[in-house]
């Protein structure tokens, strides 16, 4: 579950995000009082630009939106990411955790020098009130403040989930933009199949890969749901001895000795382990991936479970397979 907002802001890379064992959430949804874990537009016959009012079923019950919201306050930054992905960025008025999105290059066109209000690192009722939003899109961590949020504006609660294909549709439903979300998913899945076929053709399918980011004196590694596109679909071989997420030292990496290493940039600038030092380390230089030139420094959002990061990851994988892994 992208567990607590603080983790969400840091790890999901350890990311942060996007990481985030934190951020994105529950591998399964948390409790839902309204019978749904996420938003569902019950005007199912409608499409983008649907006539309002619409009834949105969500984790706290049902909310009737009289017209399409023009300004949204978003208390869980991955939901803003979903709106960027489907071309609905204009409705994003303010975001809790905006600084987390600013850490990643894929979001720069949307959050740098743009009129999106930074609502802080925690849900703040005064800041949201000042924004005067038409709708608030919240997550389960806001449960205790739901009644207060609802007095500010219509509030839709969508439970977090590391499967962005589920939450992107739920967020889109608030703006009657489900077709845009479904199209994004279809385009992503088509690209996933295309790159998987390319890996099969190049003979790289079945090669072992380790996805890490420098952290402390070693690395954070990533697996589980967020790395499923690379392991389960593209065909990189994972390591059974590793958990979904954890820390590993250089000696541990040496024992695994992967064919590929994808090293996320340390956006926190806090890791003691630096690439410049690794390049002088004999243990590092004996690694199979290092000797074969298959260590790739990647933007950290590629290691996360969000839509645009994973789409960017596919484009990156396509480029290295097309260019002969060099």
All structural domains of the chain with their residue ranges: 26-177, 185-322
Q: Hey, do 26-177 and 185-322 end up sharing a CATH topology, with the first three levels equal?
A: yes
Q: Please calculate the CA angle 44-48-51 and round it to the nearest 5 degrees.
A: 70
Q: What is the pLDDT of residues 180-202, one digit of tens each?
A: 999 999 999 999 999 999 999 99
How many residues are present in the chain? 326
CA distances to 60, 84, 129, 147, 153 from 143, rounded to whole Å, are 9, 25, 17, 8, 15
**What's the predicted TM-score (pTM) here?**
0.86
- Is 82 within 8 Å of 164 (Cβ atoms)? yes
pLDDT at position 43, please?
65
Distance of alpha carbon 181 from alpha carbon 307, whole angstroms? 10
Query: Side-chain half-sphere of 56: how many Cα atoms within 13 Å?
Result: 34
Q: Is the dihedral of CA 82, 123, 111, 23 positive or negative?
A: negative
pLDDT in tens, the chain (326 residues): 333 443 344 333 333 434 433 344 444 333 334 345 567 776 644 444 557 999 999 999 999 999 999 999 999 999 999 999 999 999 999 999 999 898 899 999 999 887 899 999 999 999 999 999 999 999 999 999 999 999 999 999 999 988 899 999 999 999 999 999 999 999 999 999 999 999 999 999 999 999 999 888 889 999 988 899 999 999 999 999 999 999 999 999 999 999 999 999 877 777 777 888 899 999 999 999 999 999 999 999 999 999 999 999 999 999 999 986 54
Distance of alpha carbon 80 from alpha carbon 93, whole angstroms? 9
In terms of Cβ atoms closer than 10 Å to its own Cβ (0-12, 13-18, 19+), residue 52 is middle
pLDDT at position 119, please?
96
pLDDT at position 41, please?
74
Closest CA to 78 of 155, 7, 145: 7
Q: What is the pLDDT of residues 4-46, one digit of tens each?
A: 443 344 333 333 434 433 344 444 333 334 345 567 776 644 4
Tokens linked to 312: 């960017």
pLDDT at position 271, please?
73
CA 283 to chain centre: 32
Closest CA to 304 of 120, 195, 102, 164: 164
Cis peptide before 53 (omega within 30 of 0): yes
pLDDT at position 36, please?
53
- Select from 3.40.50.1980, 3.90.79.10, 3.40.50.300, 3.40.50.1220 the CATH code of 26-177: 3.40.50.1980
CA distances to 105, 278, 314 from 319, rounded to whole Å, are 18, 25, 9
Dmax over CA atoms of the chain, in Å, equals 65
Helix (H) or strand (E) holding 277: helix 275-278
CA distances to 14, 17, 60 from 81, rounded to whole Å, are 18, 11, 22
pLDDT at position 19, please?
41
Domain 185-322 has CATH 3.40.50.920: no
Residue with tokens 């933009």: 177
């Amino acid at each position: 579950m992208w567990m607590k907002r603080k983790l969400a802001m840091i790890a999901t890379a350890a990311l942060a995000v996007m990481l985030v064992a934190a951020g994105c959430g529950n591998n399964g949804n948390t409790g839902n009082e309204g019978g749904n874990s996420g938003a569902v537009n019950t005007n199912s016959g409608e499409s983008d630009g649907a006539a309002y009012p619409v009834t949105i079923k969500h984790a706290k019950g049902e909310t009737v939106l009289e017209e399409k919201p023009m300004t949204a306050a978003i208390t869980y930054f991955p939901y803003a990411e979903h709106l960027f992905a489907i071309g609905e960025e204009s409705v994003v008025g303010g975001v809790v955790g905006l600084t987390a999105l600013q850490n990643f290059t894929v979001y720069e066109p949307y959050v740098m020098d743009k009129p999106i209000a930074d609502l802080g690192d925690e849900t703040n009722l005064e800041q949201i009130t000042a924004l005067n939003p038409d709708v608030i899109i919240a997550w389960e961590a806001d449960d205790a403040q739901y009644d207060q949020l609802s007095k500010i504006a219509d509030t839709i609660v969508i439970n977090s989930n590391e499967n962005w294909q589920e939450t992107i549709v739920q967020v889109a439903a608030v703006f009657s933009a489900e077709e845009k979300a479904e199209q994004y998913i279809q385009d992503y899945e088509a690209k996933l199949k295309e790159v998987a076929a390319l890996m099969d053709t190049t003979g790289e399918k079945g090669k072992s890969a380790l996805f890490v980011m420098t952290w402390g004196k070693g690395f954070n590694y990533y697996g589980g749901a967020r790395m499923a596109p690379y392991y389960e679909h593209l065909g990189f071989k994972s390591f059974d001895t590793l958990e979904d997420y954890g820390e590993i030292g250089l000696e541990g990496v040496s024992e695994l000795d992967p064919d590929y290493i994808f090293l996320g940039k340390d956006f926190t600038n806090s890791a003691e382990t630096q690439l410049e030092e690794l390049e002088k380390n004999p243990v590092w230089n004996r690694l199979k991936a290092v000797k074969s030139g298959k260590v790739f420094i990647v933007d950290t959002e590629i290691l996360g479970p969000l839509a645009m990061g994973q789409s960017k990851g596919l484009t990156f994988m396509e480029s290295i397979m097309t260019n002969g892994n060099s």
